[in-house]
Amino acid sequence: MIFTILTISILSLFVISYGAYNLIQDRDPTSKRIKTLNNFAISVEHDLPRQLFISGYRAIFLFDKEILESGTYIDDANISLNEIFFNGTISGVHQDLMEDATFQAIQNFLTKNANKINADAELLNPEISLTQEDPWNIKIVLSTTLIIEDKGNLVSWNKPTLIEAYIPIKNFEDPLYSVSTQGNVINKINQTPYATFVTGSDYSNLSSHFQNSYYKASTSAPSFLDRLQGNLNANQNGIESLVNPQKLTDGGITVKYKSLIDYIYFSQTNPQKYQVPSISNLILDDEDNHLETYNVSGVAIPI
């Protein structure tokens, strides 16, 4: 009897040990597979903002180009963004530059890389939009659901994902100049290097700012996103430049006798004018404390 019980105990231990061993053996490849797909998911989430940046940058560039060539603003930047991102077109016209930057191109890239690790990957229910949270960058947002599935049905991911990219507006052409001068005068967005424009009797900073039509942040001016759409209303992320009359003359444009603050100069409004004696041809207004902003409130002469 003792021998029988001992034999049964030994066999039981063997069966349990064998089962545990098989369980460990089965779990080891599964764990490795989970790790592989998890690393892939992380790499996708790191790479998508880069791809979104490329798509967004090219879209803004093409909007600028379309405005310059057509002489009209973009009616609705977000509607146009959806068309160019999902269809690769502007007003139904194919854009070669978007060839490898559309949503489908991003999806194809994702599928190709997933196949390398024997997996499927997909972006479901994508929604894209443009906004602006600071004066010097356009924010592009892609909301989607990232699906990653192992082809062996071992593991899968289903994750709502918000992808963001910030596109600097530097060196894009200001649509306000392009439309208002029929494309004869182009002004690229370049942020002013000056925080103070006049110090004592030194007007050199203001003169340089004026001659180069640099841009400064201004809550009374339209943002770059607004300018794309021809909206000249004040925006907390607005920017403004001083129109250089000489550039207009060189471009064959008749110069108006009014404030040279760009969104005022190219509008129908004509507020009280002020001449800055120390700088030839510089005319400002004081509707939004512009005289104080440009450090000339004590010397500007009403005209």
In tens digits, what is the pLDDT along the chain, a chain of 303 residues? 665 555 555 545 444 444 444 444 445 667 887 888 888 888 998 999 999 999 999 999 999 999 999 999 999 999 999 999 999 999 999 999 999 999 999 999 999 999 999 999 999 999 999 999 999 999 999 999 999 998 888 788 888 999 999 999 999 999 999 999 999 999 999 999 999 999 999 999 999 999 999 999 999 999 999 999 999 999 999 999 999 999 999 999 999 999 999 999 999 999 999 999 989 999 999 999 999 999 999 999 999
Q: How far apart are CA 109 and CA 44, in angstroms?
A: 10
Last residue of a domain, one of 109, 137, 168: 168
Please tell me the predicted confidence (pLDDT) of residue 162.
95
Please tell me the predicted confidence (pLDDT) of residue 33.
75
Q: Clarify whether residues 185 and 163 are in a common domain.
A: no
Please tell me the predicted confidence (pLDDT) of residue 35.
85
**14 inside domain:** no
- Cα angle: 213, vertex 68, 187; to 5 degrees: 10
Last residue of a domain, one of 145, 168, 191: 168
**21 inside domain:** no
User: What's the pTM value of the predicted model, to 2 decimals?
Assistant: 0.86
Last residue of a domain, one of 168, 198, 218: 168
Q: Clarify whether residues 204 and 294 are in a common domain.
A: yes
**110 inside domain:** yes
Q: Clarify whether residues 32 and 151 are in a common domain.
A: yes
Q: Clarify whether residues 31 and 160 are in a common domain.
A: yes
**42 inside domain:** yes
Q: Clarify whether residues 87 and 211 are in a common domain.
A: no
Domain containing 120 equals: 26-168
**4 inside domain:** no
Q: How far apart are CA 187 and CA 62, in angstroms?
A: 16
The CA-atom distances, in angstroms, between 101 and each of 47, 96, 107, 228, 255 are 14, 10, 10, 21, 41
Number of compact structural domains in the chain:
2
Chain center to CA of 165: 6
Residue 144 CB-half CA count within 13 A: 22
**13 inside domain:** no
Instruction: Work out the number of other CB atoms within 10 angstroms of the CB of residue 8.
Output: 10
In the numeric block, the tokens 């180069």 are attached to 212
**7 inside domain:** no
Q: Clarify whether residues 187 and 281 are in a common domain.
A: yes
**276 inside domain:** yes
Q: Pick from 224, 226, 225, 229: which is nearest to 239 by CA?
A: 224
Q: Clarify whether residues 133 and 163 are in a common domain.
A: yes
Q: Clarify whether residues 146 and 234 are in a common domain.
A: no
Q: Pick from 215, 202, 137: which is nearest to 176 by CA?
A: 215
List Cβ neighbours of 266 (8 Å cut-off, separation of 6 or more): 176, 177, 180, 232, 243
Q: How far apart are CA 132 and CA 172, in angstroms?
A: 15
Under DSSP, the state recorded for 202 is: B
Q: Clarify whether residues 139 and 118 are in a common domain.
A: yes
Q: Clarify whether residues 35 and 158 are in a common domain.
A: yes
- Cα angle: 173, vertex 176, 180; to 5 degrees: 115
Q: Clarify whether residues 147 and 219 are in a common domain.
A: no
Please tell me the predicted confidence (pLDDT) of residue 20.
42
Contact criterion met (CB below 8 Å) for 116 and 40: no
Q: Clarify whether residues 199 and 69 are in a common domain.
A: no
Q: How far apart are CA 136 and CA 253, in angstroms?
A: 28
